[in-house]
Structure 1
Amino acid sequence: MKKTILFIILALSQIVHGQNKLFKSDNLTDTDSVKIIGMYPKWDKNKSYEKYNFLITDKKVIDSLIESVEYAEPTKNISEQNNFSIILTKGNKVINRWSISPKFTNININGSSRQFDISIVDNLSKKYFFKYIWYEKEFKNEKEFSKFNAEILKQEKTLYVNKPIFVYEGSFELQFPKNETFPHPKAIDEYLRPQIEKIVKEKKFSISYKLDEFNMKNRDQYTITVEGPYFLFTDLKEKNSKKGKWVPAKFIATVYEKE
């Protein structure tokens, strides 16, 4: 009986141990064209953790890291603004990414902090250090981006691309007077939403009230922002508000490349 219990405990221990492997993923069936990238965030002008940068493309090294790199037990949820990222890509497309705090020696796993041995990234950077550059490129629509993306992903220097969010074609504002009919933004939303739903049908849209400088200074009105397809702007005949100009959405991709 004691031997059976011991066997079960050991088996469970091995399962938990295996579940802590950082790079293990059902989305990763092989390591062809896989890269493991460690990089400081582009917004950190001081490049606080650039010293930890690394880029690994060697298949044997990647296979070894998949089996060996692990995170430890849960720890206090604490992070820092200028963190460090480990990114797993395949064909230059991001498969997974993790945020690491070298200062607090933890890693974010599905929204919770786990202890992590920072010497791992330190050792990798000493052997596989690299520098990167990034730039932004604007596109008119998703088709234009897809054509560009297909070509850029083939280039050896490409690390990965942050895709633009193609949800709304653009936006426009509606200025409502503050009165008994429209005493607050919620009342405006309840008034507008049924009208818009009839026009857009299955298309996505959003109605929002932004507490920006104009709305804060002009308390006798509510300026509402509507996002959606262009035909919503042309087809919405709204008599109780003043309609602003159509503002096309900016579809901006961020491209990361090896320097």
Structure 2
Amino acid sequence: MSSLTVTPANLRKLLASGADNPVLFVNRDVDYEPELAVWDAAYVDKDTIVITLPELIDWLGDDFTDDDAAEYLPELQETVDEIEPAPGPHFTAWVTTTPSCLAGDNADVVVLADTFAGYRRGKVEWESGGGEVFTAVTEVDAREGDDADAIRESEELLEAAGWRITGDWEGLDPGYIATVERQDEAETWTLQQATDHMKAANTNTAQRALKRLGIEPVGRAPGRGGQNLYLTVQVMYAHATRPGQGARTDLKDTE
């Protein structure tokens, strides 16, 4: 859903415009955040147009009330949401370098889904604290271990689970944070590729392990006798968080 909301006032502004061919559009050329604005269609990217003046008059006439407009606002809002969806998804990795009730004496790493909080001076702002989508525990003793070791192990766990670190680590008591993103979620591996990544003895062993971890094939490779295909990010995540590898929980839904 977009951060912009269509109102009757936007439509009245379109109706009152003195431009030759006015349109209501999503204006991204602003210092702070995108806005709904009215301007001549000749100077507007057609892909940002929400509604034209002829369309508005055809729908509502030239003397409409807020109640009249209310019937059409949901449809216009859908158009705005398609043009200017809220940014995202956005994730932050948190490395805790002090003992905790969850990880015990070891440093742990958690990825949280962030919430879009709006714009500030043209930049998107996010609020952390959303649901956990990845959790793992390092082997670094948080009581006396080195923070650099905790970060290095956390990076290895994240990357092995299909996460890409996109920002620098910043100190934030009681640890460090950095922005991360998922690898391409549409990428697939054949069973053999999954076997190689998991360092399994053979494809049968890997297939049984994937089934045990709840990972199902999403298709088959082309050609006669093509192997099963698996989503790469699911294989990486399941393998990185398998029992005995520092995971505190079973495989979580990463959608």
Shared fold (TM-score greater than 0.5)? no
Q: TM-score range by the shorter chain?
A: under 0.3
Higher-RCO chain (CA-CA 8 Å, sequence separation at least 6): 1
TM-score, reference length from structure 2: 0.22
